[in-house]
Amino acid sequence: MTTATEQSTPAKGIAVTEKAIGKIRSAMAKEGISPEQGGLRLGVQGGGCSGLSYNIRFDTQARERDRIFQFDDVRVFVDPKSFIYLHGMTLDYQETLMQQGFVFVNPQATKSCGCGTSFSA
């Protein structure tokens, strides 16, 4: 496998709400991604209206230097560069009359845009 560090609930890690865990679990099942090997990849990339954009997708396995966070049977992968911007963040899932989807609650973001997918730190 990989030499990635397994962490469950670190003080300076990331958190995922129960609602988000349920959505991740059902989406992984639809995509045919094994919870034993795969997981949700959270990342940050340059761009977006505020300078940095969140990146969220499924991955079939962790990479060598990923931090791996375990939430019940759901794993979340974060690469080292993205972790600089994401530690302390909570991933939530919200459903309202206007929209539904994952929401990044990031205390490191000093400014964010109206769409909620871009920020600056």
Query: What per-residue confidence (pLDDT) applies to 79?
Result: 96
Query: What per-residue confidence (pLDDT) applies to 9?
Result: 43
Query: What per-residue confidence (pLDDT) applies to 61?
Result: 93
Domain count, the chain: 1
| Structural domain that includes position 38 | 5-109
CB contact at 8 A, 71 and 10: no
Judged on CB neighbours under 10 Å (0-12, 13-18, 19+), 7 is middle
Is 118 among the domain residues?
no
Is 117 among the domain residues?
no
Is 114 among the domain residues?
no
Is 79 among the domain residues?
yes
Q: Cite the beta strand spans of 1-121 per DSSP E.
A: 5-7, 15-16, 39-46, 52-59, 67-71, 74-78, 90-95, 100-105, 111-112, 118-120
Is 26 among the domain residues?
yes
CB contact at 8 A, 5 and 68: yes
Series of mean pLDDT values for 10-residue runs along the chain (121 residues) = 41 87 95 92 80 89 95 95 92 89 83 53 52
Is 120 among the domain residues?
no
Buried b (16+ CB within 10 A) or exposed e, 49-77: ebebbbeeebbebbeeebbbbebeebbbb
pTM of structure: 0.79
Query: What per-residue confidence (pLDDT) applies to 98?
Result: 83
* Distance from C-alpha of 121 to C-alpha of 118, rounded to nearest angstrom: 10
Is 19 among the domain residues?
yes
Nearest to 57 by CA among 70, 69, 39, 75: 39
- In this structure, what CATH number is given to the domain that contains residue 63? 2.60.300.12
